[in-house]
Structure formats: structure tokens, C-alpha cells
A and B are shown apart, each in its own frame.
Chain A
Amino acid sequence: MIPLEYYLILSAFMFVTGVTGVLTRRNAIVVFMSIELMLNSANLTFVAYSSFFGDVIGQLFVFFVMAVAAAEVAIGLAIIIAIFRNKLTINIDEINILKW
């Protein structure tokens, strides 16, 4: 029997790793992937709780989260491509017109 906490700690670790990736990487696509990592850690939490308490709602929610993540990735990558067409870079440090 693996206690619930183990899954949750694993999920927390993945989440924090994803956060660090979002805040530190400069390549926009890698930032995106870190966001996916964060989403997955949330999924893991959902499924862990769902499994342990026998309520299917957790897994259904994961279903929806995955659909939304897919949609988000599609749009996000399309935006990155559009930006790349204009600025020829996906280094997010260089996409900084919204400043003083």
C-alpha cells in the first residue's frame, strides 16, 4: 500500500520544478513545456485523490484538464509562431515592448 502522501509529494515536486522552469528559462517553448509539467502535476494530484477516495469526479476532471491543455498548447504555439514571424526570435527577453 502506498500512502497517499507519497503521490502528493511527488506531485508537489513536479509542480515546483515546473514553476522554476517557467521563471528561469528563456526559450518560449521550453517555458510552455514547463507549464505542461505543472498541469500534469495537478492531474496527478487529482487522480491520486480520486483513486484513494473512490470518487470518479477527480478522473473526470483530469479528462477536462487534458482537453483544455491540448487546446491551450495549440493556441500558444500558434502565437509563438506568429511572434517568430515578426521578430525572428522566441527568446522571451526580446519580446518586451510592453514596458516603460
Chain B
Amino acid sequence: MTLEQGLFGFFALIAVASSILMVTRKNPVISALFLVLNFGALSGIYLLLRAQFIAVVQVIVYAGAIMVLFLFVLMLLRPAQEKSYFKDRPQQKFMAIVVGVLMFLQIIYSIFFAMPGKMADEARRVEIGTIEFIGRELYTTYLLPFEAIAFVLLTATIGALVLSKKKMD
């Protein structure tokens, strides 16, 4: 077993476990923390894929900003513990699990029918993950989507402000 395989197994296991645990815990704060763990594992996997920039951004944005936001809202709202998982609406939950399993099998099936291309060499793999490369691509070839995304974020900011405003008397 190489280091890469070992690390992959480690991170993958954590990711799988934390995702299952996140979905099943009753306490939403615990769910949030498991999700943070999941993001961390994912960040490691990104590194294994030589995507340095994405790995760092994952930690900063997802684990660092989005999950903090979730935790703040949970703190504000103090939701009650959810009651038992299966007792209410068992048919719907059954259907959900069935759907989930079916979908998983379908995706697996289609993975093995995907047409593989030629794998790139190592230097190229490292090169495209660097921040310089990504930065250069963003600011030249993909400048328009970049600016558009800025606009989306602006809209989100304004929207969040407007939606959470209390009524002025």
C-alpha cells in the first residue's frame, strides 16, 4: 500500500462515516459538527488530487464560513430536538431510502459505462491545481463568469439583509 492509497482510505472513511452520522443525528448541532468533519476530510481528498487551491478554499469557505453561519443560526433559533427518526411518516422515509439506494446503484452503473480519456501526467496535474494557474485562467479566459459570480454574491448579500430585516415601525 502506498502512502497515497492509505491516505485515501483514511480520508474516505472519515467522509463516509461523518456523512452518515450527520444525516442521522437528532441534535442539529451535532449534525453540523459532523458536517464540518466531512468538509475537512474532503479537503484532504482534494489535496490527494493535487488541487491545492480548492482544498484551501474548501476549508476557508465551507468549513470556515458556511458552517459557522449554520452554527450561528442554530444558536439563534435553538431548535428543539427532533423526535424519533422512523416513527412519523414511515412510508415517506421508506420511499426515501429506496430512492436513495436505487439512485446509488444507477450512478455506480453509469460510472462503469463512462468513457475514459487519457490520464494526464503528473506535472500537468500539479500544475493545474496551483493558485497561479487557476488565477490566470480566472482573470483571462473566464473573466465574465468571475464578474457574474461577484454580482451573484452582491445579490445574496442584499437579499439576506432584506429578508432578515425586522419591520420598521
* Number of inter-chain CB pairs below 8 Å: 214
Shortest distance from the beta carbon of A17 to any chain B beta carbon, whole Å: 5
B8 touching A6, Cβ below 8 Å? yes
Task: Kindly state the separation between the CA atoms of A34 and B24 in the bound complex, as whole angstroms.
Answer: 11
A17 touching B103, Cβ below 8 Å? no
26 contacts between A and B (CB under 8 A): A8-B111, A13-B16, A13-B19, A13-B104, A14-B19, A23-B100, A24-B93, A27-B28, A34-B22, A36-B35, A37-B19, A37-B35, A40-B62, A51-B51, A52-B120, A53-B118, A54-B121, A56-B133, A64-B145, A67-B149, A69-B62, A70-B65, A70-B66, A71-B155, A81-B76, A81-B164
B46 touching A47, Cβ below 8 Å? yes
B79 touching A27, Cβ below 8 Å? yes
* Selected contact of B73 from candidates A29, A36, A56, A62, CB within 8 Å: A29
A47 touching B103, Cβ below 8 Å? no
| A contact residues, total (Cβ < 8 Å) | 69
B23 touching A78, Cβ below 8 Å? no
Task: Kindly state the separation between the CA atoms of A5 and B12 in the bound complex, as whole angstroms.
Answer: 13
Query: Do A78 and B66 contact each other (CB < 8 Å), given the known contacts A9-B111, A67-B149, A84-B77?
Result: no
* Residue among B22, B54, B152 facing the most chain A CB atoms (10 A cut-off): B54
The majority secondary structure among interface residues of chain B is: helix
B160 touching A78, Cβ below 8 Å? yes
**Nearest B residue to A4 by beta-carbon distance?**
B116
**Nearest B residue to A13 by beta-carbon distance?**
B16
- Which residues of chain B have a CB within 8 Å of any CB of chain A? 4-5, 8, 12, 15-16, 19-20, 22-23, 28, 31-32, 35, 38-39, 42, 45-46, 48-51, 53-54, 57-58, 61-62, 65-66, 69-70, 73-74, 76-77, 79, 82, 85, 88, 92-93, 95-97, 99-101, 103-104, 107-108, 111-112, 116-121, 124-125, 128-129, 133-134, 137-138, 142, 145, 149, 152-153, 155-157, 159-160, 163-164, 166
Chain B residues, Cβ within 8 Å of A95: none
Shortest distance from the beta carbon of B163 to any chain A beta carbon, whole Å: 4
B61 touching A66, Cβ below 8 Å? yes
B128 touching A14, Cβ below 8 Å? no
B156 touching A71, Cβ below 8 Å? yes
